[in-house]
Amino acid sequence: MAYISSHQSGITHQELQEAIPESLLSKNVHLHWIDKSPSERGLYTFTAKMEIDGQMLLLSSKTSDTLLIDDWDVNDPTYHTNARLVALERILTDPANEDILLSL
């Protein structure tokens, strides 16, 4: 039986399970953390450290979505969690990460 877990505060098991693509639900998935950092020319990079079936991965995705970046720093835990979940969904569905995820 696969398990899904997280060290990221504010993200529930149910939210994490809903953010993970169906193709990964049969695997053991552990989210260590997710963060954002400024990149070039107004872009931000979302990065997630995840362990999937024993493989430690650093996956990332770039965005220019300023609303999502602004919501990241809102002190309301609901907004905070939602921004991280949207970022995680973007990372896991980014075509740049597709080959890595398919190889697992």
Cβ pair 2, 17 in contact under 8 A: no
> pTM value?
0.85
Task: State yes or no: pLDDT of 1 exceeds 80.
Answer: no
Tens digit of each residue's pLDDT (9 = 90 or more) over 38-97: 988 889 999 999 999 999 999 999 999 988 888 887 766 665 568 888 899 999 999 999
Comparing 1-5, 25-29, 33-37, 38-42, the range with the smallest average pLDDT is: 1-5
Residue 75: predicted pLDDT: 66
Short-list 13, 51, 14, CA closest to 32: 51
